[in-house]
Structure 1
Amino acid sequence: MLSHYYPPCPEPDLTLGASKHSDSSFLTVLLPDQIEGLQVHREGYWFDGPSVLGALIINIGETETFYRQLISNDKFISSEHRVLANRVSVACFFTTYGIRPNPRVYGPMRELVSEENPPKYREITSLLTSAPKDLTEALLCFPFKI
């Protein structure tokens, strides 16, 4: 488990904070402060994530998203987000890392596949050991259509 602490930015007008990305970890838990700054990218627009005092933000990272996107046949995909420095003060987050080979077979769930919605990916047995930084790119290795 990793833990990060980001103090307030002394010159927020000179930087973005954290550019557009999706977390590569399995799970990220963010303890936000009272100042909003998290934005989520959806359908070409950036939306502010509200800051709720005492609430935690749980972000499922690329490792989990890789499997979720695969088994949901693209019904659930990764979300990109960024942080604005001019709104960031004190934030900390905890994240986990670890990819282990696994003998299970992963593929689109049969309940989510039909003639109208055929499988988009082949079944696999584990993650690539040298997966790209953005693990959703790894799904490009397993499509039915190229």
Structure 2
Amino acid sequence: MQFEGEPFIFDASILQHQSHIPPQFVWPNHEKPCSEPPPILDVPPIDLGGFLSGDPEAVSNAARLVDQACRKHGFFLVINHGTELKLIEEAHKGIDFFFRKPLEEKQKALRKPGDHCGYASSFTNRFSSKLPWKETLSFRYSADSHLSHIIQSYFSELMGEDYVTFGRVNQKYCDAMSNLSLNVMELLGMSLGVGPRYFREFFEGNDSIMRMNYYPPCQQPDLALGTGPHCDPTSLTILHQDEVGGLEVFVDEKWHSIPPNPQAFVVNIGDTFMALSNGIYKSCLHRAVVNSRHPRKSLAFFLSPRMNKIVSPPEQLVDEENPRNYPDFTWQLLLEFTQKHYRADMKTLQAFVTWLGVN
């Protein structure tokens, strides 16, 4: 029995066998999943290897495609990305390894209130309605050379020796994602006209977040959402989906899907980079839907600058025709705002700017 005021415990091993989902997971009618499969979003595949080769035609083509996508909705695919498929597969196996554990085992890593790392089952400690049908495991990554084993240490100390391999694989995967992110930042710098070094150097020594998402089968998927509509508050998201699919993006006043592609990463602009680009590149509303047959799994690397880094656009992107859109802020302050004061949604950055003006 659940008493009033107590957090709801999301235990998929029990919930998915009940005939109806609890009311906390039922979303309002205007936010429920589409009754018909949505159209596929036209997201350009960017040949990152071609761009990095320096071939003038490949560089020009990649910069043009990414510029068009980021001005419109901020989503694109990266192919020929240089990340070993075997490493991606090992990281996906890690999702099964962790989320198949009993609830009491997973709760050893339980996320503390106000924190952004740890195990969370539907954010049930912070919200009582519109809960997402998912479990997540988030952990900090740092590109600082003094913290090169931060993930391995986190899991060994928190979960014990059985998690040594799990921690090692995730450390290696995040190193690869950090490297990939910096290469994408070269491309974004070229497409915005500030050169390949500016954003790459801004994010060297990044203090980022890695998240494993697990969406169990849901017996009433037409009533629930795996992740509600939101824009990512971080700078850049690099997502690898499994074969199940479920990612949807809101473009031109309707939802579109981005089908899985095992050879590609889905990349999208976050609120912090939208501010860094002075609003030229867009952070777009997206969500995840669930189904009644298969669990869905995804790996999300959220690139973020060092905590105390001032987020301010380069001077080339500010002029009389394009005045400043956002005040200076640190990533640490925006992260704290989303964890303690505001649930990330479609207006996170605007709400944050208003909050900054008041505090």
1:124 and 1:15 map into 2 onto residues whose CA distance is: 35
CA contact (8 A) 1:25 1:96 kept: no
Partner of 2:289: 84
Pick closer, same or farther for the CA change 1:121–1:141 going to 2, 3 Å: farther
CA contact (8 A) 1:5 1:90 kept: yes
Q: How does 1:1-146 map to 2 (within 5 A)?
A: 1=139, 2-24=211-233, 27=237, 29-33=239-243, 35-59=244-268, 65-86=270-291, 89-95=294-300, 101-102=307-308, 104-125=309-330, 127-128=332-333, 130-132=336-338, 133=342, 134=344, 135-136=348-349, 137-141=351-355
Q: Give the aligned residue type for 1:4.
A: N
- Secondary structure of 1:76's counterpart equals coil
What is the CA distance between 1:54 and its match in structure 2? Answer: 4.1
Residues 84-121 of structure 1, C-alpha deviation per residue, up to 9 Å, x if partnerless?
A: 3248733222346788641x433222111111111122
CA contact (8 A) 1:30 1:58 kept: no
1:107 and 1:122 map into 2 onto residues whose CA distance is: 8
- Secondary structure of 1:94's counterpart equals strand
2:264 and 2:287 map into 1 onto residues whose CA distance is: 19
Pick closer, same or farther for the CA change 1:101–1:41 going to 2, 3 Å: same
* Identity across the alignment (%): 28
CA contact (8 A) 2:275 2:313 kept: yes
- Structure 1, unmatched stretches of 5+, are none
CA contact (8 A) 1:108 1:121 kept: no
Give TM-score, length-normalised by structure 2: 0.32
2:279 and 2:319 map into 1 onto residues whose CA distance is: 13
Pick closer, same or farther for the CA change 1:88–1:43 going to 2, 3 Å: farther
Partner of 2:53: none
CA contact (8 A) 2:212 2:297 kept: yes
Q: Give the aligned residue type for 2:275.
A: L
What is the CA distance between 1:49 and its match in structure 2? Answer: 1.2
RMSD over aligned CA atoms reads 3.3
CA contact (8 A) 1:70 1:139 kept: no
Give TM-score, length-normalised by structure 1: 0.67
- Secondary structure of 2:275's counterpart equals helix
User: Which structure is larger by alpha-carbon Rg, 1 or 2?
Assistant: 2
Structure 1 residue ranges, 4+ long, deviating more than 6 angstroms after superposition: none
Indicate the structure with greater helix content. Answer: 2
CA contact (8 A) 1:40 1:81 kept: yes
Larger RCO (alpha carbons 8 Å, 6+ apart): 1
What is the CA distance between 1:138 and its match in structure 2? Answer: 1.7
Pick closer, same or farther for the CA change 1:123–1:5 going to 2, 3 Å: closer
What is the CA distance between 1:72 and its match in structure 2? Answer: 1.0
